[in-house]
Amino acid sequence: MGVTHPVLLDNKGENWRRWRQQYWPTVYLIDKRGRVRSSWMGELEFEGAGGEAKMARLIEALLKEKR
């Protein structure tokens, strides 16, 4: 399918409960050490929310970190 990033399939909802999810979708930005650095609840661009641009900026900042 051409997907090159990790994707979690959670058919039984185990991860949903473990992370105490409340909204679908929720996007997590996780750094190289496995720490959640940011999250976005809901559609990134719902009603012009600007989530894609915000996440892109955060990703660029993480990529510049030396750790």
- Looking at the domain assignment, is residue 47 inside a domain? yes
On the CB side of 67, CA atoms within 13 Å amount to 6
- Looking at the domain assignment, is residue 62 inside a domain? yes
- Looking at the domain assignment, is residue 54 inside a domain? yes
- Looking at the domain assignment, is residue 10 inside a domain? no
- Looking at the domain assignment, is residue 51 inside a domain? yes
pLDDT at 54: 96
pLDDT at 7: 84
pLDDT at 66: 81
Range of the domain at 52: 36-67
Total number of domains in the chain: 1
- Looking at the domain assignment, is residue 1 inside a domain? no
Tokens 């750790």 found at: 67
Question: How far are the Cα atoms of 5, 26, 41, 44, 59 from residue 49, in angstroms, in the given order?
Answer: 24, 14, 11, 6, 17
- Looking at the domain assignment, is residue 50 inside a domain? yes
- Looking at the domain assignment, is residue 11 inside a domain? no
pLDDT in tens, the chain (67 residues): 898 988 888 999 999 999 999 998 999 999 989 999 999 999 999 999 999 999 999 999 999 998 6
- Cis before 25 (ω within 30): yes
